[in-house]
Amino acid sequence: MTSFPQTSVPSPSAPADTPVASVRDSSQLVATLPYLLGFHPTESLVVLGLVPSSTGSLRVGPCARIDLPPVGTPAAVLWDAVHGRMARHSRHLVVAGYLPGSGGRDDAASAWGCALMDEVLQLARRAQMEVVDAVVIGAGGWWSMLSPEAGCRPTRLQPLPDPSQVEAVTDLVLAGSAPFADREAALARVRAAPEDDRCRDVRSALTALTARTVPAPGDVEEGLRAWARLLGVGEEHCVDGGLPSVPTRDDWTARDLVSAVAVARDKVVRDALLAWCSPGLAPGALLPQELLDLCRRHLGRPVRWGSADRGRREALLERLLLVGRVVPPEHAGGSLTVAGVVAWSLGDHMIAVAALRRALAVDPGQTMARLVLPAVESLAVYSEVVGRGGDDHDGQGRGARAVEPMG
């Protein structure tokens, strides 16, 4: 078992530089990874970039999850994908390979993956990147490639740890982390839901409004009131001291969806919504003060930067994604763009990339999505691009939540 310096994992709501979950060895890492990623990975290479915190310990920073390539693919192809995303962020890596089969070197289903991992570690060393830990995980258990016994055959597989017995997992669960069954289940939050009668009603109403390019003042207010209801914000829609209540599509009327989508088709209004929920991205000084006042009147206090408002942004993200799922796909670009930016600000690169790509697929005219997507795809940290608000952890998210889908 490999031991390494205490590695802290920022929680969704912890103040800056306050570690609430720590892993100290390979076993704890294996148990904790799905809770960091937000889903249980399969046939993947997961690379965690470790960065120093102000306390001197290492913490999980931007990370990458990459599908294992077909058998026979040169390791350099996989390493180039890793290096291109991680080199600018961290020189200290933790590498985890989720392989088919048992995970042992003597298992034919796992053998090529083990050899691929060996080559990736060699390429990392040649690139002068320190691999702090490297683990192989399969159906039969796990083992550390850096342990003294790593070259043994057959591989001595360790039983997969019981997450309930790992303190770091408990901390993450208490902080709100609950992994999806797999990556596809996590990404389903971004995809269009099956159309129903309400969706068809919304399409018909929006089609009738297509000729109107600039909303009337009354339409702006009606649209912002609709957004308040959809997002669960404003005094009458919030619970527990200002957090949006649990999202539900059943309470959303076709009229609210039409009003919200219609007003967000106007770029200035959409930028005002972005300014309200994504601090620093769309400076308020560039927007009409009257519009900003309307946002505050109907949506309530703008979202603040920092850990204290993180829970609020997480709730808003789920509601924005839900809007993007239930409206007609061709009209989802605006809500998906805002959702992608909010996900980026939370450090969830996987959801951010998926939302922004879908926004551009359904509406290539989403300028903000086109502008920020390259930064998100390169694992750029939100706070470093748009300006810090005083929270070093914010924008990094749950560390390994900064996971990018390939292709």
DSSP reduced 3-state for 62: strand
For residue 7, what are the CA distances in angstroms to 26, 90, 132, 145, 214? Answer: 11, 14, 11, 19, 51
**What residues make up the domain containing 93?**
3-180
Q: Is residue 407 included in any domain, yes or no? A: no
Q: Is residue 157 included in any domain, yes or no? A: yes
Same domain, yes or no: 319 and 197: yes
Helix (H) or strand (E) holding 65: strand 58-67
Q: Is residue 21 included in any domain, yes or no? A: yes
Q: Is residue 400 included in any domain, yes or no? A: no
Q: Is residue 51 included in any domain, yes or no? A: yes
Same domain, yes or no: 103 and 228: no
DSSP state of 303: P
What is the rounded average pLDDT of the residues 366-393? 78
Q: Which two tokens stand for residue 266?
A: 């106007």
Same domain, yes or no: 95 and 227: no
Q: Is residue 250 included in any domain, yes or no? A: yes
Same domain, yes or no: 167 and 315: no
Mean pLDDT of the chain: 82
Q: Name the pTM for this structure.
A: 0.80
Same domain, yes or no: 29 and 96: yes
Same domain, yes or no: 163 and 215: no
Same domain, yes or no: 230 and 345: yes
Q: Is residue 49 included in any domain, yes or no? A: yes
Q: Which pLDDT value is given to residue 397? A: 41
Identify the weakest region by mean pLDDT among 105-119, 127-141, 275-289, 364-378.
275-289
Domain boundary residue among 180, 206, 235?
180
- Give the Cα separation of 131 and 109 in Å (integer): 25
Q: How far apart are the first and last CA of the chain?
A: 34
Same domain, yes or no: 210 and 92: no
Same domain, yes or no: 316 and 208: yes
Residues in the chain, total: 407
Top mean pLDDT of 146-150, 167-171, 176-180, 226-230 is at: 226-230
Same domain, yes or no: 110 and 196: no
DSSP reduced 3-state for 19: coil
- Give the Cα separation of 49 and 26 in Å (integer): 16
For residue 76, what are the CA distances in angstroms to 95, 120, 127, 137? Answer: 15, 7, 12, 21
Number of domain units in the chain: 2
Q: Is residue 392 included in any domain, yes or no? A: no
| In 89-227, beta strands by DSSP E | 92-98, 130-138, 141-144
Domain boundary residue among 180, 207, 222?
180
Domain boundary residue among 148, 180, 212?
180
Per-residue pLDDT of 158-217, as tens digits, reads: 998 899 989 888 888 887 788 999 999 999 999 998 888 888 899 998 888 765 555 565
